[in-house]
Chains A and B, each alone.
Chain A
Amino acid sequence: MRGTEAFQELLPLLKDEPVVHANGFICRESFTLKDREANFYMIGSMGLASSIGLGVALCKPDRKVIVLDGDGNVLMAMGTLAMIAAQAPKNLVHVVIDNEVYESTGSQRSLSNRVPLELVAKSSGYREALRVNRKEEIKPAFEKLMNSEGPSFLLIKVEPCFDPKTGRVTHTPEEITNRFMNSLRRP
């Protein structure tokens, strides 16, 4: 499946959950397909979507919190997987769009063709870690994880396909903060 198809499958499954996005292509694709107030678009600070999501999950234990990450981002902050596993928030679902490259910077190879990230998550101590290769598998896997206790990890294997004409996030960073905080203030 192509990266964009993974987003097309996944985004309609979202309700009002906070979603913290990794930088680059992940933000742009999600923003272009379906902008949401509860989306935190992290445009810089590569690697930190997972720790931001962990902070939200720990402080909002009654909300399911989703991190939408990239393989390069995960590899940059692998220690955060240990932090998530150790804190074990039941309400955190960590989804990774794994295209095995740094697509946003020109598709240089990452390491995730050799290093199975779902096994890293599982052995770190995530309660559940799934890998899906076909787009029909996304819905059942995601729904299973959303309906069970986390922390859980969903690795979606995709082929790079990013269209550089895809828009950039047009909200300013301060607007992103305010929108996201507003969405979290609602019960």
Chain B
Amino acid sequence: MSSFTSKTFIDRLIRENFKFFTGVPCSLLSGLISYLEEVEDAKYIPSVREDSAVGLCAGAYLSGSLPVLLMQNSGLGYCLNAFTSLNLIYRIPVLVIMSWRGQGGKDAPEHIIMGDISQKLLETAGMDYAVLKPENCDQVLETALKKINEEKLPYTLLIEKGLFDERH
């Protein structure tokens, strides 16, 4: 198995035709974003809030692009109205790469509650997701692509600490 890095993962997404990236940074995603800023075949547009990023992705999708939103789970609350009153009812898909701060109760205090309820919030909203691992990447991406291309619905990949390299 080839190694699983920020670069191999983004290159894989670009091969699957995801070329429009936006988001709000998280340290867990810093390696991904640094690579996106240098790679030629994709563009990364900084967003100021996660819900604006959802809107931006929706516009990209409506114009025929496949968008990816990178965000920390602390931005999930900002996005719920956009997911439920835009993406889900209009059938506007987006691939969400969401870092999972506060997972297992081991993190800074501000992340603990959201870390505990992130999966429940996604489930309650009817947003499908999977926890991404190097070993399940192929299968998870296949599920995500089906959701996005066939059902035209969003799909979220939860990213645990340590999955990707971080830049400090």
Contact = CB atoms under 8 A, between A and B. Distances in A.
Interface of A: 20, 40, 42-60, 77, 79-80, 82-83, 86-87, 173-174, 176-177, 180-181, 184-185
B60 A58 contact: yes
B86 A184 contact: no
A176 B63 contact: no
A83 B52 contact: yes
Residue among B47, B52, B82 facing the most chain A CB atoms (10 A cut-off): B52
Interface stretch (B87-95, B117-125, B134-142): B87-95
B81 A44 contact: yes
**B contacts with A: majority SS:** helix
Contacts of B59: 20, 51-59
Nearest to A56: B59
B58 A48 contact: yes
Given A48-B54, A80-B55, 19 more contacts: A43-B85, A45-B81, A45-B86, A47-B55, A48-B55, A48-B82, A50-B55, A51-B47, A53-B59, A54-B59, A55-B61, A55-B62, A55-B67, A59-B20, A83-B46, A83-B47, A173-B91, A181-B64, A184-B62
Contacts of A47: 51, 55
B145 interface: no
B85 A55 contact: no
B55 A55 contact: yes
**A contacts with B: majority SS:** helix
Interface in B61-82: 61-65, 67, 81-82
A51 B91 contact: no
B42 to A, nearest CB: 13
A54 B63 contact: no
B65 A48 contact: no
